[in-house]
Structure 1
Amino acid sequence: MRPTTAWQAMAQRPLSFLTSSWPWRSLAYLTGGVVVGAVAVAVLAAGLAAGLATLVVLIGAVPLVGVVLAATVVAGVERRRLRLVDLDRLPDPHRRAEAPGVRSWVLTRLREQVTWRELVFALVSAAALWWLDLLVLGFCFGVPAVTLASVDGDTWPWTVFGAVVLLASPYTVTSWAGARAAMTRTFLAPRDRELGEELREVRASQSRLLDSFDAERVRIERDLHDGAQQRLVSLGMTLALLRLETPQDSAQAGLLDQAEAQLSTAHRELRALVRGLNPPVLADHGLAAAIEDYAGRFPIPVTVDLRLPERLPRKLETSMYYLINEAMTNIAKHSGARVAQVRGRYHSDLLIFDITDDGRGGVDPQAGGGVTGLADRITALDGRLRVSSPVGGPTLLHVEVPCRFA
């Protein structure tokens, strides 16, 4: 899977990471942070000073408003800079002005919660973040420069220390760049309440659909178990009674053999269908056991490695079971794979699943089909799906779904 953040690049490819562009992107991100932070300090300090100095004559409100609006500019620059170390675009949460003109635009900005959160971020950035950027860069490159420049017989331990610091600098720089980017995203990512009532209603609708699908699945499972399965059992008993009245060497006995064989097959298929709709092992033992049970009946070997701290919430557990089930079904139908793997972990309030196979690859998420259905399921859970499937394989589905345990 192609990494989308600096942290992912460093974690997934610890050796080839050094020859990738990520260390340079991280270096550019921190260097730009120093520049942007220094400019922000100058602008914010000048605006605050002018505003406080003239506030007694009511003119100071203008510079103070300018400080608030300058913070939105800083936030906009940070959203663009974030693409250096986090490829997921961060949308601008600001609304369009309610009417044309500068006055309407200013009033719209001042009424938005995101504007004040951006002001807090700008103040934090000016007071601390860019200093930390400068400190990290100074440690990674300033310390080695000083120690290597003063090489003599008495200072060789410091020279070795400086060399080690320099060699480790790609990881040090990228680690802080990833942490800074995560903090920036936390401050500047739009909140649900800032995206409007329409988006909240869409998400509520998605949740209701998941609940209705779950309820409908349980109803179908109950109807099949109490209706069709019982009728098949009754039909089997009728055939057994009919066999008692039929001579063993008659033509009717052969037809009864065929009917009983077909009935047994139908009963077995219906039982498998019912078990797939609402598998008891999922309800009794959880997601890991249910996936291992399904993998044991899969037509190709599947390695299951799910390490979850505890039972998931029921709704999420059921959704993830059918999501993985559908992904594995797609593998069996379309990939031509010989082996597959399902790996799952829980980290930082995220469920992370990797579903891989050694099939022919070439899966295009934009072409519709099974992957689109998976993406819709994951979107309904407020998660993310990434697909890596070069022609010739292998194929990797990377799923991230938010999850908080009570």
Structure 2
Amino acid sequence: MEPSTLRTAVPRSPRRFLLSWWPWRAVAYLATGAALGALTAAVVAMAIVLSIYIVGLVLLAASLLMGIPIARWERTRLRLVDEEPTFDPHVRVTERGLRAWLRVRLRERVTWRELGYAVVNASILCWIDALVLLLCLGTVFFGVEISLTEPGVPTHYRVIFVVASLVFLPIAMYIIAAWAAGRAEIVRAVLSPRDAELDRMLNEVTLSRSALAAAFDAERRRIERDLHDGAQQRLIALSMSLGMAKLDLPAGSAAADRVGDAQQQAKLALQDLRDLIRGIHPQILAERGLAAAVDDVAARSPIPVDVQLPLPRMPADVESTAYFAVCEALANVARHAGASQVSVSGRVAESTLFLDVTDDGSGGAAPEQGTGLAGLGHRLAVLGGTMMLDSPAGGGTRLRMEIPCRHFA
């Protein structure tokens, strides 16, 4: 397998390394680095000299942002010795206009880190690049040139000096490659760190997961509204029509009995639909908030539930996640805990919603024992929430859930 970076190419066998393009790519990397640093130093020096004029002041002010194009060029130049992908750590500017771009860029820490790199590159690194190239390649070429052009030197001595100079070339290439590899690691660590790239990818995944959750919640609300305003109203109208029709039929007749059965089936279908709507997204949650919705669930629980939720209205996604998490926790208690009493309490502190579901059951619950608690953890994780479970055998269970809520509705 061919190496993808100069750092992994150098330890290869000397024959494979020296006959590859990696040594010359290292030379090109240091040569362009020296040129870039020298050009940067020249531009800054010119801006300082001309600072007494308007154009010089403009150049001097613009030099505060010179790190951005220099860093972009450095990340491109890094491909000479490091084929692993790089990324631009700057956030995307969504607003149009130079003022918006400047406002975003000047507030970013990475902008000032890139400026610091540009200063260090122009004052130190580029001169080291030039010095390494001059000492290594200059020694070889100077030795060959002296051996071939110095007058009065016997031919056999010329051959010896040329061979000796060329023998030093592989050593020079290794020195150049070693510095270029180290230089590339510095650039990677400062301008395109792998940890930062992973953090950005994680943030993108988190944002996309949150966006999907928000879209899913919005779709649940739409389905709930459609069922509530459509199918449920039709079933109510159907039940009323059947009741009116039953009044017009002789009492005790076969037709009246069939209409009565149909009305009863319509009522059962209506109840099933209401349960379905409540499971998709309860209307009470949207209208009155989390506390009222949990009270409604507690009233229908087969186990007595004490609810203590003195909560303000919160963002819809937080309330929805918290509601279904509490429903899942109460369902788990009813199915597995063997409890006689459950309490649900909650509070908001430091922009975080804390919920506790405690029962006096048999305990011994663990997330790995089933999909209920594991699914509850996945539901909370969508909003960056966490859960903690304390369930000693025979000692009841306490489930603590924490959900960040950055702002209130």
Q: Superposition pairs for residues 65-104 of structure 1, below 5 Å?
A: 104=184
Q: What are the Cα deviations for residues 304-354 of structure 1, in whole angstroms up to 9, with x where unaligned?
A: 12233x321222122212221222122223322211111112222322111
Spell out the pairing of 1:364-379 with structure 2 (5 A cutoff). Answer: 364-379=366-381
The reply to whether residue 206 of structure 1 matches residue 229 of structure 2 is no
Q: Which moved more, 1:352-361 or 1:370-379?
A: 352-361
Q: Distance in 1 between matches of 2:197 and 2:357?
A: 34
Alignment CA distance shift 1:110-1:243 (3 Å): closer
Q: Which residue of 2 aligns with 1:267?
A: 270
User: Which AA in structure 1 matches 2:269?
Assistant: A
For 2:345 and 2:337, the matched residues in 1 are separated by 18
2:242 touches 2:260 (CA, 8 Å); kept in 1? no
* Counterparts of 2:261 and 2:346, CA distance in 1: 45
Residues 39-71 of structure 1 show CA distances to partners (whole Å, capped at 9, x for unaligned) of: xxxxxxxxxxxxxxxxxx989xx9xxxxxxxxx
Instruction: Report the CA distance shift for 1:104/1:389 in structure 2 as closer, same or farther (over 3 A).
Output: farther
CA RMSD of aligned residues (A): 3.2
Alignment correspondent of 2:146: none
- Per-residue Cα deviation, 1:110-137 (whole angstroms, up to 9, x for no partner): 44789xxxxxxxxxxxxxxxxxxxxxxx
Alignment of 1:356-395 (within 5 A): 356-395=358-397
Q: Secondary structure at the match of 2:347?
A: strand
Residue correspondence of structure 1 range 148-187 to structure 2 within 5 A = none
CA distance in 2, matches of 1:220, 1:405: 27
Residues 391/255 of structure 1: CA separation in 2 closer, same or farther (3 Å cut)? farther
For 1:211 and 1:405, locate their aligned partners in 2 and report how far apart those are by CA, in whole Å.
16
Which residue matches 1:86?
A: none
Shift of the alpha carbon at 1:273? 3.2
Does the residue aligned with 1:337 lie in a helix, a strand or coil?
Answer: coil
**CA shift in 2, pair 1:393/1:266, >3 Å:** farther
Contact 2:206–2:382 (Cα < 8 Å) also in 1: yes
Change (3 A) 1:366 1:230: same
| Alignment partner, residue 334 of structure 2 | 332
Relative distance call for 1:290 and 1:233 in structure 2 (3 A) is closer
In structure 2, give the amino acid aligned to 1:332. Answer: A
Aligned counterparts of 2:124 and 2:204: Cα–Cα separation in 1: 43
SS at match of 2:249: coil
User: SS at 1:195's partner residue?
Assistant: helix
Distance 1:403 1:222, change over 3 A: closer
User: SS of 1:222's equivalent?
Assistant: helix
Q: Distance in 1 between matches of 2:396 and 2:240?
A: 50
Sequence identity, in percent?
44
1:18-167 paired onto structure 2 within 5 Å: 104-111=184-191
Provide the residue aligned with 1:70 in structure 2: none
1:194-233 to 2 correspondences below 5 Å: 195-233=198-236
Change (3 A) 1:303 1:241: closer
- Matched with 1:257 is 260
1:396 to 2:398 alignment: yes
Of residues 379-388 and 225-234 in structure 1, the stretch that sits farther from structure 2 once superposed is 225-234
Aligned amino acid, residue 346 of structure 1? V
Are 2:268 and 1:291 aligned?
A: no
Q: CA deviation at 1:207?
A: 0.7
| Alpha-carbon separation, structure 1, partners of 2:406 and 2:124 | 49
What per-residue deviation string (whole Å, max 9, x for no partner) do you get for residues 235-282 of structure 1?
Answer: 224423432443213233333333322322322332343245333332
Contact 2:246 2:260 in 1 (8 A): no
CA distance in 2, matches of 1:100, 1:257: 89
Aligned to 1:227, the other structure's residue is in SS state helix
Query: Equivalents in 1 of 2:387, 2:275: separation in Å?
Result: 29
Task: Report the secondary structure of 1:261's partner residue.
Answer: helix
How far apart are the structure 1 equivalents of 2:370 and 2:181? 44
Q: Is the 8 A contact 2:293 2:323 kept in 1?
A: yes
* Gaps in structure 1 of 5+ consecutive residues: 1-56, 63-98, 115-189
Closer, same or farther: CA 300–227 of 1 in aligned 2, 3 Å: same
Q: 1:205 to 1:236 in 2, by over 3 A?
A: same
Structure 2 counterpart of 1:277: 280
Distance 1:403 1:240, change over 3 A: closer
Q: Which residue of 2 aligns with 1:315?
A: 317
Gaps of 5+ in 2: 1-122, 129-178
Hey, what's the Cα distance between the residues in 1 that align with 2:303 and 2:338? 10
- Answer with 1 or 2: which has the greater Rg: 2
Give aligned pairs, total: 235
Q: In the alignment, does 2:237 pair up with 1:234?
A: yes
Give the direction of change, closer, same or farther, for the CA distance of 1:237–1:351 in structure 2 (3 Å limit).
closer
Report if aligned partners of 2:354, 2:400 keep a CA contact under 8 Å in 1: yes
Structure 2 SS opposite 1:196 = helix
Describe the shift of the 1:232–1:398 C-alpha distance in structure 2 as closer, same or farther (beyond 3 A). Answer: same
